[in-house]
């Protein structure tokens, strides 16, 4: 019985490890017009063919950093098209 429980626990941990390292969505750099400005962003899409529900992600004061990109990738892994934009207004008003 103890050996069966050990094997079951190892199988569970193996599956959990595989699921937690499931391929994260990769982003594609995009640009689009917003008024007179060209805005940059990264579009993360789920695997497969769409259409997908979409979410626009606006970064915080620190800009489009790795944490924001990771959140967008996670949303894509959950089935959303996630556009993480670089906010010209936030970027322009930053003082360091």
* Number of structural domains the chain divides into: 1
In a domain, 39, yes or no: yes
- Is position 3 within any domain? no
* 81, part of any domain: yes
Burial of 17 (0-12, 13-18, 19+ CB in 10 A): exposed
Domain membership flag for residue 1: no
Let me know if residue 83 belongs to a domain: yes
Sequence-distant (6+) residues with CB within 8 A of 54 are 80, 81, 82, 83
Whether residue 37 is contained in a domain is answered as yes
Give domain status of residue 48, yes or no. Answer: yes
End-to-end CA distance of the chain: 62
Q: What is the pLDDT of residue 45?
A: 95
Q: Residue 44's domain spans which residues?
A: 24-93
**Per-residue model confidence as pLDDT tens digits over 5-24:** 444 444 444 444 444 445 57
Q: What is the pTM of this model?
A: 0.65
Whether 15 maps to a domain, the answer reads: no
């Amino acid at each position: 019985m103890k050996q069966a429980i050990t094997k079951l626990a190892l199988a569970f941990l193996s599956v959990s490890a595989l699921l937690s390292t499931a391929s994260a969505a990769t982003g594609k750099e995009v640009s689009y017009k917003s008024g007179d400005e060209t805005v940059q962003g990264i579009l993360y899409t789920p695997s497969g063919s769409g259409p997908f529900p979409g979410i626009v992600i606006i970064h915080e004061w620190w800009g489009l950093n790795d944490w924001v990109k990771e959140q967008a990738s996670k949303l894509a892994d959950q089935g959303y098209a996630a556009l993480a934009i670089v906010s010209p207004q936030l970027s322009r008003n930053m003082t360091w």
